[in-house]
Amino acid sequence: GAVVSQHPSWVICKSGTSVKIECRSLDFQATTMFWYRQFPKQSLMLMATSNEGSKATYEQGVEKDKFLINHASLTLSTLTVTSAHPEDSSFYICSASRALGGQPQHFGDGTRLSIL
C-alpha cells in the first residue's frame, strides 16, 4: 500500500518552457502533499506543502509564481515550473501523507528535469 506515482520521470526541454509534474497517490487519499527539490550532491529541500483544495505554503526562498502548485483532489497534486531556465534543472520529488500532520510521508519516484 501507500503508492505514490510521479510523472514524468525525466524531462528535457528548452529554456523558457513551462513544465508540469504530476504526483498521484494511487491507493490512498493524500490530505497533504509535499514537493522537494534536490540539486546534485545536496540534500532534499522542501519547496512547499499543499493541502487539497487550499493554497500551497511555500518555504522561504521559493518563488510561488515560478513554481505553481495545484492540489485539486485528494489524489493529485501538480507542480508547474514556469518559464524554466537551466538553473531550475534539478531532481523534483513529491511525497504524500494521509495524516493531517503530514507524517508518515510516502515518496514518488522523482522527476529529473533538465533545461537546455
Partner 1 sequence: RKEVEQDPGPFNVPEGATVAFNCTYSNSASQSFFWYRQDCRKEPKLLMSVYSSGNEDGRFTAQLNRASQYISLLIRDSKLSDSATYLCVVTLSLNTGFQKLVFGTGTRLLVSP
Q: Which residues of the shown chain bind partner 1 in the complex (CB under 8 A)?
A: 32, 34, 41-46, 49, 57, 91, 93, 95, 100-105, 107-110, 112
Closest CB to partner 1 among residues 28, 107: 107
The rounded distance, in Å, linking the Cα atoms of 27 and 2 is 6
Residue with grid cell 507542480, as numbered in its chain: 79
Minimum gap (Å) between residue 79 Cβ and partner 1: 15
Residues in CB range of 39: below 8 A, 6 or more apart? 90, 91
Minimum gap (Å) between residue 93 Cβ and partner 1: 5
Minimum gap (Å) between residue 16 Cβ and partner 1: 26
Chain centroid to CA 83: 16
Chain centroid to CA 45: 11
Closest CB to partner 1 among residues 39, 63: 39
Closest CB to partner 1 among residues 28, 82: 28
Minimum gap (Å) between residue 3 Cβ and partner 1: 12
The rounded distance, in Å, linking the Cα atoms of 101 and 79 is 21
